[in-house]
Amino acid sequence: MSLLEVRNLRVHFLVAHRVSDRRRAVVKAVDDVSFTVAPGETLGLVGESGCGKTTLARAIIRLIEPTAGQVLFGGEDLGRLSQRDLRRRRRRLQMIFQDPYSSLDPRMTVEQIIGEALDIHRLARHGDARRKRVADLLDAVGLAGEHLRRYPHEFSGGQRQRLGIARALAVEPELIVCDEPVSALDVSVQAQIINLLQDLQQTHGIAYLFIAHDLAVVEHLSRRVMVMYLGKLVELAAANEVIQTPKHPYTRALISAVPVVDPDSKRQRIILPGDVPSPIQPPSGCPFHPRCPLAEARCRVEPPALREVSPGHFAACHLAQ
Amino acid sequence: MPLLAINRLTVDFGVGANRIRAVDGLSLTIEAGQTLCLVGESGSGKTVTALSIARLVPTPPARYVSGEIRLDGQDVLRLGQSGLRRIRGGVVSYVFQEPGASLNPVFRVGSQIKEALKLHRPADATDAEVVRLLKLVGIPAPESRRKDYPHQMSGGMQQRVMIAMAIASQPRLLVADEPTTALDVTIQAQILDLLRELKQRLGMSILLITHNLGIVGDLGDRVAVMYAGQIVESAPAGELLRRPLHPYTQALLQSVPGLATKAPRLTAIPGSVPLPGSLPTGCRFHPRCPMAQPDCAQKSPELPEVEPGRWVRCPYWNVIPHAAPRTAPCVP
């Protein structure tokens, strides 16, 4: 059975079209997204800014209330839970954020930051047991026990991200939603955090929903990868299939746009024209058609459904084979 | 004669006990028409180096301790205010990371481009020339878009406007400081393509600052790798990526995942980048270096030319085992 199942999730926001305009427009930040995550699996999610990946992450753990659809965690619909029950469930469902500077309270010590997670879920009652547990967690993420009384500003970006991971880890979750956990870090430090996440998955059997805009990082970590464009899933398949035989023209362009280190690489570059359209006025039909090199007449009118093009390989494109 | 020659430049910030050496004895040259990539992590001194070319680092808090910057035959560190005004824009122009923060929000983009023209090519400060520049950087419908305010444009379009402003004065050197870091990857590909095309069309030199080694392979003729205020390796781009000689460059290349390269685990560099205020003794990379020798903590290595066109700041460059060449990614 899957650990997490997202069914037809939608998150719509009402926004003022213009400052002077009283009419309201709807932004479909997440539009009919469905997928599953198995226990201990890493599912990667890539997409450009504004495609809805962070909104999706927040809607899953109900930091944002979804407009429609269901999020089943261990078979239980999170959307039907009371705030109190939801808080209890969140012990099994944690999140790591992108910015290690703004996601830690600057006025709390490391012991307080990580201990707070333990207090909320009543995992360590006595002072000594609590301190021991926090020290063990620091050790698990590669920090020393002597850091207990330090404040976040005394740590580098990579160390702060380790603190964020220790905080998520404190309550022994089954799934961690990682929202761009390495993109704010220096290149030489990114690999440390990626390796740490992999090690923790092996020792604790945690599943990840790993969100990033860097396709190479996502492919490296994930068993399966999904690609979002303008609020919709456009492709979902095993990681190596997405990279080597992408079926959606957007995925193909995304892969070709990643600068590669290899100076002898003779791959063809697909440069997409134009920008990502405004989600306030998404194009008709297939949302990708204005930038798509293969677009046909029906792409302009008929929105493509996400269909299984080959076993386990889903793509939302009329032309995918 | 090279277009730009920086010779043993040293830049400090602060005084007394708070003194921080941001750039330490840095030398580099750029020939006319060449692209040099300056690679380094945050705090390595690459932006201070780039801003120094037009003496844009405010003094104080900065202080040019020693060294020389020769740009197009002029000694930048000895120029007076009027001389500096001439070279800023006239010889060297800048494109920065955050186009939204670099453009003035209360003026239309067309008039901001025209301002650059008025300063450096007053005879050409016309709407027609603004439209031509916008067209050159690939902005669709330039006639109407020139009347946009910056907030009406996307990040990619704003960066195109920044580039139009930078090339309006027909500089000989374009300094692009992380020009695509704030942009999405498909937009990044567009901007890199534009820079490549403009360089060929206008014959400019480019100093491209980046932390992304992929961009180096894409655009650079030469690369200089910076670490903690110093250049640790400098080489032709292809050679450096194929056969990095300095342990830091090797470690950096191994720590980034490639597409479709089947490495189960990344080789991480332990520790973090040293702060400019608390640099290690001897070689600045030695606490993190997997190949460090006992005397690396004492002796500060020089940057000798070890092969024609290749400089390496590591005395053990030819005794340490070289990383296996990266396998070519099998991407369609």
Residues 3-32 of chain B with CB under 8 A from chain A are none
ipTM above 0.85, yes or no: no
Instruction: Say if B286 falls within a structural domain.
Output: no
B265-282: average pLDDT: 83
Instruction: Say if B316 falls within a structural domain.
Output: no
| A190 near B CB under 8 A | yes
The Cα–Cα gap between A301 and B305 comes to 62
Q: Each residue of B190-207: pLDDT tens digit?
A: 888 888 888 888 889 999
**Order of strands, sheet of B62-71, starting from the edge strand that comes earlier in the sequence:** B20-30, B4-13, B62-71, B74-75
Residues 51-110 of chain B with CB under 8 A from chain A are none
Report the candidate in A241, A134, A142 with the shortest Cα–Cα distance to residue A191: A142
Q: Please report the pLDDT score of residue A189 as a whole number.
A: 83
Instruction: Say if B212 falls within a structural domain.
Output: yes
Tally Cβ neighbours within 10 Å of residue A87. Answer: 12
The Cα–Cα gap between B283 and B318 comes to 16
Tell me the shortest Cα–Cα distance from A301 to chain B, in angstroms.
25
In chain B, the percentage of residues whose pLDDT exceeds 90 is 37
Asked if pLDDT for residue B327 goes beyond 60, the answer is: no
Q: Which of A47-51, B173-177, B227-231 has the lowest mean pLDDT?
A: A47-51
Q: Each residue of A278-293: pLDDT tens digit?
A: 777 889 999 999 999 9
Exposure b/e, A136-165, CB count within 10 A at least 16 = b: ebbebbbbeeebbeebbeebbbbbbbbbbb
Instruction: Say if B151 falls within a structural domain.
Output: yes
Instruction: Say if B84 falls within a structural domain.
Output: yes
Residue B75 sits in a domain whose CATH number is: 3.40.50.300
Nearest CA in chain A to B240: A263
Are B301 and B228 in contact by the 8 Å Cβ rule? The answer is no
Q: Please report the pLDDT score of residue A69 as a whole number.
A: 94
- Where does residue A174 fall: left (phi above 0), alpha (psi -120 to 50 degrees), or beta otherwise? alpha
Q: What angle do CA A178, A184, A185 make, to 5 degrees?
A: 100
Instruction: Say if B232 falls within a structural domain.
Output: no
Tell me whether residues B260 and A240 touch, CB distance under 8 A: yes
Residues 222-281 of chain A with CB under 8 A from chain B are 240, 243-246, 252-265, 267, 269, 271-272, 274-276
Count of domains observed in chain B: 1
Q: Please report the pLDDT score of residue B130 as a whole number.
A: 93
Q: Please report the pLDDT score of residue B153 as a whole number.
A: 85
Q: Please report the pLDDT score of residue A276 as a whole number.
A: 80
Q: Each residue of B100-125: pLDDT tens digit?
A: 888 999 999 999 999 989 988 889 88
Instruction: Say if B129 falls within a structural domain.
Output: yes
Range of the domain at B109: 4-226
The Cα–Cα gap between A256 and A254 comes to 6
Rg of chain B's alpha carbons, rounded to an integer?
A: 21
Instruction: Say if B301 falls within a structural domain.
Output: no
The model carries a pTM of 0.84
Report the candidate in A169, A161, A258 with the shortest Cα–Cα distance to residue A217: A258
Q: Each residue of A179-197: pLDDT tens digit?
A: 988 888 888 788 888 999 9
What is the pLDDT tens value at each position of chain A, 321 positions in all?
Answer: 799 999 999 999 887 666 566 667 788 899 999 999 999 999 999 988 888 889 999 999 999 999 999 999 998 999 899 988 998 888 899 999 888 888 899 999 999 999 998 988 888 777 888 888 999 899 888 888 778 889 998 888 888 899 999 999 999 999 999 998 888 888 878 888 899 999 999 999 999 999 988 888 999 999 999 999 999 999 999 999 999 999 999 999 998 888 877 777 767 778 888 878 877 788 999 999 999 999 999 999 999 999 999 999 999 999 988
